Every structure is written in structure tokens, then in C-alpha cells.
Structure 1
Amino acid sequence: MKIVKIVSVIVLGWIASSCKAQEKQQITTSKTYSEISVKEGGNWEGRKYIGGAFKNVQKLKLAPEHTDHSFDIRYEGPGWESNKIGYRLYLDWRNAIDIFGKKTEEIILSKIGQDGFDSYHEMSDWGADILKAGKGIGIGSIDRYLNNERLHFYEVDSTIAKVENNAYNSSVTVNYYGWKTASDKIDFTSELTIKPNQRYTRHTIHPSKAIEGICTGIVKQKNTQLLKNESKNKKWAYIATYGSQSLVPDQLGMAIFYEVSTIEYLVDAEFDHLLIFKPRISPTSFYFLGAWEQEKGGIKSQTEFVEYLNGKLADLNKKNKL
């Protein structure tokens, strides 16, 4: 009996070691990566988590105490990256998406925020957080816009985030159960997927009920203008901004590609350029991206950025996907 127990312990230890080795191999050799890291071993004091250490998990149900700056999730939510750029989602009432500008093509998310909660705001060898979302939507995230107001994710019964990495892409899936805005209460799913060698994220959204006002967009920054274009077949279009709008500050471009038939109207809101989706229950996909001038082989002018966007638009015109 003792021999069986000893063998079991050895086997379980080998499996755990093998899993850790595979995770490390994934991080060091892949061109995409997603993760979510939560603190364990501490305790809640009101709405803040005190003590503990971060541990990566594949799936996380948001603690009922969690809000912005609760310090229980490393860099405030799930992150995903390609060898070109990184993104993170504020997994709280803000539900905004931020950008990590990368000066390297190495996978770097696992290193971010390990030595201090806000350390990623300081420029380092790998890069930094380069987007100030402020009161805005960030880039490509979801909200609801009614009566000239963004309603946010203040009331949600429960939120579950999952990450997945494979040889072809990395993804983050967030399920919001019981999201209440105005007089509507729905379930809502966001799936964010990034591919190797690409800046863009494909965002697929799926509401449980067709309601008005579901929106995405780009946060407004000074020193930029709104850029637009439509594909030859009139099926796809983009909105974009370019200029000295990073936190450095230096040149940053942001864009959203969308199917024209899915959008009800565009809004020049107080803090954002918004795209308002038509009410529908079927899944809807769009693409968003950032392009920072300091990335390896980065785009360094508005002319280059528009050429890059128009190339992607031509691809959508031909293939109906990126």
C-alpha cells in the first residue's frame, strides 16, 4: 500500500512538473499568449485584496468584492498578445481594453506587474502601457450607449473569464451573466482572439437578447483626427485615429474594422468615437488593433498607417475575414 502511495506521489509530481514545463515552453516559443493571474493566500479588506501572491489560472470567476484597483488580479484583468503588441481588459465595471506597446517580439505578459502593481506604466526594455483609457472605452471593448450615456458594467450577477493558448492563436473568453442596464438584463459573451505576426484582435460578441445600444469604439485623444474608409464591396469599413496619442507621448494608431450591415450608426461621443451595433442575437465579429511607432518595424507616420489599414480592408473585401 505504501509503495502504491509513493508511486502515485511520484507520478503526480511528474505530471505537475511536466505541465509547468509545457507552460514555460509555450511562453518562450510561441508568438501569441494569453493569461489571467489572480492573488491567492491573502484576504479581502472591503473592496481591496491584501497580501497573497499571484498565480496563473485558466479560468476565473470574479470575486463579488472585486472592482477597479482591487489589487487581486495582475494588471487588472486578462491579457493577450502577439509578437507585435499586447492588450489587457479591465475586468470590472469599466470593461475597457488597454494597449501594451512592445519594443520586442518576445512574449512578455508573464513578466508584467510582477514587481509592483503599476510598474507596467513605466517604460522598460520590453515597452509599457501606452494608452490612457481614462473615462473612455479604450480600444475595441464593449459597452451600452443609451440616451447619450455609456452605461458600463456596474451590475453583473457573475463574470467568468477563461484563457486558451494553442499553436494557432491565443484567446480570452469572458462570460457576463445577468448584465443589467436600463430595464434590460442579459447574458453576454466576449471572445478575443489574436494570431501570430498580427496586431489585430478578432472580437466576437454574443448577447442572449437583442437589445439596442450595444457598442464598441476608440477612446478620443488630443492631436488626432478620425479616419474612415469602406471596402470596394461596401461590406466592410473601418474607423481609425492616428497621432501623438500614446502615453510616451509618441505616434500611435488605433482602428476598428466592422461589417457595415452590423452597425446602426456612429456616435461622436464625449470621450469616444463609438460604433452602435444593430440589435441582434446572433454572434457578431469585428477587429481592432493598435500600431505603435516603437514596435519592431513599427509604423511611423499617418500615411504608412492608412496604407496598412487599406491593405487589411482589401483582404476583408476578398476573403471576408482577416
Structure 2
Amino acid sequence: MKKITILCLAFLALMACKEKASKNDINTDVEENAVHVAGKPLKTYAEISIKEGGEWNGRKYVGGDSFKNVQELQVPKNHTDHSFFIRYEGPGWENNQVGYRLYLDWRNAIDIYGKKVDSLVLPYVGQDGFDSYHEPAAWGQDILKAGKSMGIGGYGRLVNDTVAHFRKVDNTYARIENSENSSSVHIDYEGWDTGDERIDLDVVLTIYQEDRFTKATLTPSKDISGICTGIVKFDDIPLIKKDGVKWAYIATYGTQTLATETDKLGMAVFYKIDEVVEQKEGVNDHLVVFKPTTEKIAYYFLGAWDQEPNGIKDQASFILDLDKKLEKLNTTNLLN
């Protein structure tokens, strides 16, 4: 088992972002308190933040009046959904256009934070109530209802037409990395048990200074079938697909958020064609199923919300953006 070295980040003193705060308030506060690397303020940011001052009562963490950011975390054995221990229930990562979070429990889905400001906001999120980020705020809000799916670009294993999440894992270890040009969340799952297989899985989720995408890299310890990613399915939102020479994408676009009944969200997953067995429909997800391997599996995912500053406002513009990215991938094999 890995030793835990807890390092507090420079954002510890940030105050919660109240809904009444203005855009300028948020931008000014984040700039003044920004984490610096090599003397420069970060343009990307990742964090994981845990409650302190309370105690565990069964599966719940009770008491405590503040959170502290940690660089590394061995997830407690009794942690589950709604344990009230990890701020917004898992690690988060962002740049100035979009934010994401991962439920660091059995659900293991990836969610989207839609942003109405062009600055880093995660230090404010969830400071003023466990699920306050579901409500509209000056910075934006949680906009995706993942439900029983993997969310956007999450990962699981397809077993008998059902996606197995992470209900049976011996140990889960998360680590945060912030550098001058990117921010990453590293997660090691030890003893992930699905169906008749048991493996370790190393995951790296990286966001860069420019654009909305996250690069996901999965490294299984054993070449088992069914490792998959995907996009949450919504009624009346059709799947968009396009193949290139080396890469392909699946995407959705439409009114598929928690924010309003009229705002638009685009979601996409880019994958390397020769790494994939099939693209198929699951119960809760549009699925991309990877070939068995112990090599690194790399893919990209993104969310584009029409309420972002200078955001993509319609489906045609969204598809044009995806097609440009697909062309770059087929030429360079990289978006970053």
C-alpha cells in the first residue's frame, strides 16, 4: 500500500463563492490567490479536498467545519457516495473554459462543471453546502446528470451487456499534479473486481491550457475484455458519429443539462480506431469498447456548454469544432 504524504495547496485560505458574488469578484480573488509554478500563475488546476475536524460514523463523515486540499489521498475503506468527506465527492480539474469532476466512489462517473467565467473556480465549488454546486451561481454550475452512466468519458467494464463500475475495489489512491502547462488527476485502483476478472487499473486524466478536452490514459494490469468509455444517453438526443483514418468520435448535442430547459450542451469522445472492438449502445451510455490490452489506452473527451464566455452556440458549430479536432488527431495523433 502506498504511503500517504499530505501536502496542502495554496488555495486553502480561499473563501466560498456565494451566489451573489459578481464575475469580477471571482476573477480578482482567484488571480490574487492563484497557485504559481516557476513564478507563473496556473492556467489549469486540479484538486482534491477533504473534510477535517469531524469523524467517521459508519459510512458517513460527520462534523467538521472546513475542508483542506491534499496532494494525495488513500480513499478510506468506508467511503461511498454521499459520505460528506470529499468536497464535491471527488477530484476536480479545470482550465478557463470548462471544469470536470470524478465521483471517487463506486459510481466512478465523470461530470461537467459549466463555467460562466473565464477563470479558475474549483476552490470555491462546494464550500457553501455539500451539493450547492447543483444550483446556478456566478461562476456556473454542475450541468450534467450522470445517473447510472459513466457520465462523459468515464470508464468501466462491459460485462454481459451491463457496465460494471467500481463497486468492488481493494484500494483506491488518488494524486494531484499541477504544472505550468497542464493539470492531472492520477488514480490507482488496486484489486478491481468485475465478473470473473480482477485487475489493477492506473488512470491519468489531464487538462491543458487551451480548449475543452481532457486526455484520459488507462493502463490495465491484465488484458481483459470489456474495458470501455462512453457518453451518457438522453432520450431524444441522437448520437453523432464520424470516422477518420486513425481516429473517430462519437458525440451528442442538445438540451441535455441540469441548468435550464433550453440551454445546449455538446459532448464528445475521440478514440483510436485500432484500439477499439466496437462502438455500441449500452443501457445508460453510448459505448466505446476497447480491445484487451496491457498497453496504455488513450482517448479524449470534452463538454461544450453554450453559456460559456464565447461558447459554442449551435450544433453546426459544435460539429465543425469536432471535425477540426478529428483532422488534427488523424494528422498528429495528439490534440495537446
Q: TM-score scaled to structure 1, two decimals? A: 0.91
**Aligned match of 1:100:** 113
Match of 2:136 in 1: 123
User: The residue matched to 2:304 in structure 1 has which SS?
Assistant: strand
Aligned residue identity for 1:33: Y
Which residue pairs with 1:33 in the alignment?
Answer: 45
SS of the counterpart of 1:308? helix
Shift of 1:17: 11
The reply to whether residue 191 of structure 1 matches residue 200 of structure 2 is no
Quote how far apart the aligned CAs of 1:30 are. Answer: 2.1
1:209 aligns with 2:222: yes
The 1:177–1:23 alpha-carbon spacing in structure 2 relative to 1, beyond 3 Å, is farther
- For 1:79 and 1:57, how far apart are their aligned partners in 2? 12
Distance change (3 Å), C-alpha of 1:152 and 1:222: same
Deviation at 1:180, TM superposition (A): 0.7
**CA RMSD, Structure 1 to Structure 2 (Å):** 1.9
Distance between the aligned counterparts of 2:249 and 2:266, measured in 1?
13
Instruction: Please state how far the C-alpha of 1:41 moved relative to its aligned partner.
Output: 1.8
The amino acid of 1:47's aligned partner reads R
Conserved 8 A contact 1:223-1:244: no
| d(CA) in 1 for partners of 2:121, 2:102 | 16
1:121 touches 1:130 (CA, 8 Å); kept in 2? Answer: yes
Aligned residue pairs: how many? 305
Find 1:261's aligned residue among 261, 271, 274: 274
Equivalent position SS for 2:238:
strand
1:48 aligns with 2:57: no
The AA in structure 2 aligned to 1:26 is V
- Bigger Rg, structure 1 or 2: 1
Name the residue aligned to 1:12.
none
User: Is residue 222–residue 245 contact of structure 1 (8 Å, CA) maintained in 2?
Assistant: no
Given that residues 96 and 139 in structure 1 are in contact (C-alpha distance below 8 angstroms), is that contact kept between their aligned partners in structure 2?
yes
Deviations 1:155-197 (A, max 9, x none): 1110000001011100000000010111111100110000012
C-alpha separation between the residues in 2 aligned to 1:34 and 1:17? 10
TM-aligned CA distance change 1:49 to 1:23, over 3 Å: farther
Deviation at 1:111, TM superposition (A): 0.4
| Residue 78 in structure 1 maps to residue 71 in structure 2 | no
Q: 2:315 aligns with which of 291, 302, 316?
A: 302
The residue type paired with residue 24 of structure 1 is: N
Which of structure 1's runs of 4+ aligned residues deviate more than 4 A?
16-23
The AA in structure 1 aligned to 2:106 is: W
CA contact (8 A) 2:10 2:34 kept: no
CA distance in 2, matches of 1:203, 1:23: 31
Residue in structure 1 matched with residue 257 of structure 2 by the alignment? 246
CA distance 1:18–1:40, shift in 2 (3 Å): closer
Distance between the aligned counterparts of 2:292 and 2:10, measured in 1?
47
- Shift of the alpha carbon at 1:291? 0.2
Unaligned runs of 5+ in 1: 1-15
Answer whether contact 2:230 2:269 (CA < 8 A) is retained.
yes
Give me the identity figure in percent: 54
| Structure 1: distance between partners of 2:236 and 2:145 | 14
The answer on whether the counterparts of 2:225 and 2:291 sit within 8 Å (CA) in structure 1 is yes
Aligned residue among 220, 224, 232 for 1:219: 232
User: Deviation at 1:269?
Assistant: 1.2
Question: Do the aligned partners of 2:12 and 2:68 also contact (CA within 8 Å) in 1?
Answer: no
2:141 equivalent to 1:132: no
Change (3 A) 1:20 1:270: closer
Q: What letter corresponds to residue 25 of structure 1 in structure 2? A: A
- Give the TM-score normalised by structure 2: 0.88
Distance 2:61 2:32 in 1: 27
Alignment CA distance shift 1:19-1:291 (3 Å): closer
Q: Distance in 2 between matches of 1:261 and 1:17?
A: 40
Instruction: Tell whether 2:172 aligns with 1:156.
Output: no
Deviation at 1:20, TM superposition (A): 7.2
Separation (CA, whole Å) in 2 of partners of 1:270 and 1:182 = 18
CA–CA distance in structure 2, aligned partners of residues 149 and 136 of structure 1: 10
